[in-house]
Chains A and B, each alone.
Chain A
Amino acid sequence: MLRVMSRRGDDRVTWDQQRALLGDPEAVAAIREAERIFAQERARGATAFRVSPGRSPERIEQFDATAEQIVMVPRVVGG
């Protein structure tokens, strides 16, 4: 699942990696959409983290379709 923080809370894109591997067109399209949003947000300065239960979050530069959850946070500045 890709979750992008925004003023609306978070926007979500979900996909089924197993079905995508079997060539399910809907699952493949969902991954492509998540990848597109990931690239778009990164271009805007957002940072992406791979988040898994019980593990420290990991900053990632490339979209990872195998990630259980990717959380994207907008660009930050010193206040």
Chain B
Amino acid sequence: MFTTLEWLVILAAISPVVWLVVQPYLRGWSRADRRATHLLRDVLTPEQWHQVLWHGYLEVPSPSAQGRVYRVPRARGAFVQVIENGKAVMRLCVQPVERLPEADILLLHKLMIEANEEHYLQKANKYLCVDQPFSSIHPDE
């Protein structure tokens, strides 16, 4: 059995290693990220929240087209995939004019798609999914 002193020595020995491992995550997890994540969690259902946590994206069913789903990634700068009947047919790029935390960007896509899909599609730059990964079919005016 360890004495208190021995425990303190062990703790002192491993704490720099623990700090080195944890520090990058703590620095990236800013107050803004926490607030944005809190807002996202407030708005999503538990199932949607789990999808974001486990898969890193949120699937938003199209309000107008049956069989169409928008796969919105959590990662900043990634494309939104349009999936129709299980097949990726298009990628979309829409971004806010000001810098936002990742969770806010994900929520922004969800709100825009669900509330006004037509307007969202008008705003987006669209890239067809064909043999080549990205082929622009509608560059932004």
A residues at B contact (CB < 8 Å): 3, 5-10, 45, 47, 49, 51, 54, 56-59, 69, 71, 73-79
Contacts and interface: CB of A to CB of B under 8 A. Distances in A.
Interface stretch (B11-19, B29-37, B67-75): B29-37
**Which DSSP category, helix, strand, loop or mixed, fits chain A's interface?**
strand
Contacts of B107: 5, 71, 73
Interface of B: 31-36, 38-39, 42-43, 45, 63, 93-101, 104, 107-108, 110-112, 114-116, 123-125, 139-140
A10 B36 contact: yes
Mostly, the B contact residues are: helix
Q: Which of B95, B96, B99, B124 has the largest count of A CB atoms less than 10 A from its CB? A: B96
A49 B99 CA distance: 19
Contacts of A8: 31-32, 35
B114 A78 contact: no
A59 B104 contact: no
